[in-house]
Chain A
Amino acid sequence: MIPAFPNAMPVEGFIGGLLIGLAAAIMLLGLGRIAGVSGLAARATGIADAGAPRNVATAFVLGLPVGAFVIARAIGEVQVSFPASIWPLIIGGALVGYGTRLGSGCTSGHGVCGLSRLSPRSMVATAMFMASGFATVGLLRVGGWL
Chain B
Amino acid sequence: MTRALIALVSGLLFGAGLAYSGMSDPARVQAFLDLFGNWDPTLAFVMGGAIVPMAFAWLIKSRLSSPLAAPAFDLPGTTKLDRPLAIGAILFGMGWGIAGLCPGPALADLAIAPVAVLPFVAAMFAGMAAHRFIPVSPK
**Residues in A lying within 8 Å of B, measured CB to CB:** 2, 5, 7-35, 37-38, 41-42, 45, 47-48, 52-53, 55-72, 75, 78-83, 86, 88-104, 106-108, 110-117, 119-122, 124-126, 128-138, 140-142, 146
Q: Considering the complex of A and B, which 6 residue pairs feature the smallest CB-CB distances, nearest first?
A: A63-B11, A17-B49, A103-B88, A16-B21, A97-B127, A132-B93
Bound CA span A14–B36, Å:
24
Give the secondary structure class of A's interface: helix
Contact assessment for A29 and B60 in the assembled complex, using a CB-CB cutoff below 8 Å: yes
Bound state CA distance, A65 and B15, in angstroms?
6
Q: Which chain A residue lies CB-closest to B88? A: A103
| B16 and A67 within 8 A (CB) | yes
16 A-B pairs with C-beta separation under 8 A: A10-B42, A15-B49, A20-B13, A34-B76, A37-B14, A47-B128, A56-B4, A63-B14, A65-B112, A96-B96, A99-B89, A104-B85, A106-B92, A120-B78, A125-B88, A134-B33
Interface residues in B, total, Cβ within 8 A: 120
- Note all chain B residues with C-beta closer than 8 A to A131: 93
The interface residues of chain A lying within 8 Å CB-to-CB of B109 are 65, 68, 80
Given known A-B contacts A35-B10, A68-B16, A83-B26, A140 and B128 have beta carbons under 8 A apart: no
Q: Which of B16, B39, B73 contacts A70 (CB 8 A)?
A: B16
* Residues of the A chain whose Cβ atoms lie less than 8 Å from the Cβ of B130: 94, 97-98
Give every chain B residue within 8 A of A59 (Cβ-Cβ): 4-5, 7-8, 11
Assess A68 versus B108: contact at CB under 8 Å? Given A23-B10, A92-B120, A125-B85. yes
Complex interface: chain A residues within 8 A of B51 (CB): 17, 21, 112, 115-116
Number of inter-chain CB pairs below 8 Å: 512
Contacts A30-B68, A31-B67, A92-B95 given; indicate if A16 touches B127 (C-beta within 8 A): no
| Contact of B67 (CB < 8 Å), options: A13, A29, A57, A63 | A29
Contact pick for A9, options B22, B88, B107, B125, CB 8 Å: B22
Contacts of A103 in B (CB 8 A): 84-89, 91-92
CA distance A58 to B127 in the complex (A): 19
* Across-interface contacts of A48 in B (CB, < 8 A): 128
The answer, among A7, A37, A38, for a CB contact under 8 Å with B28, is A7
Contact of A66 with B111 at beta-carbon distance under 8 Å, contacts A10-B41, A56-B3 already known? yes
Known A10-B45, A31-B70, A59-B4: A141·B96 in contact at CB below 8 Å: no
- What CA separation (Å) do A122 and B123 show in the bound complex? 25
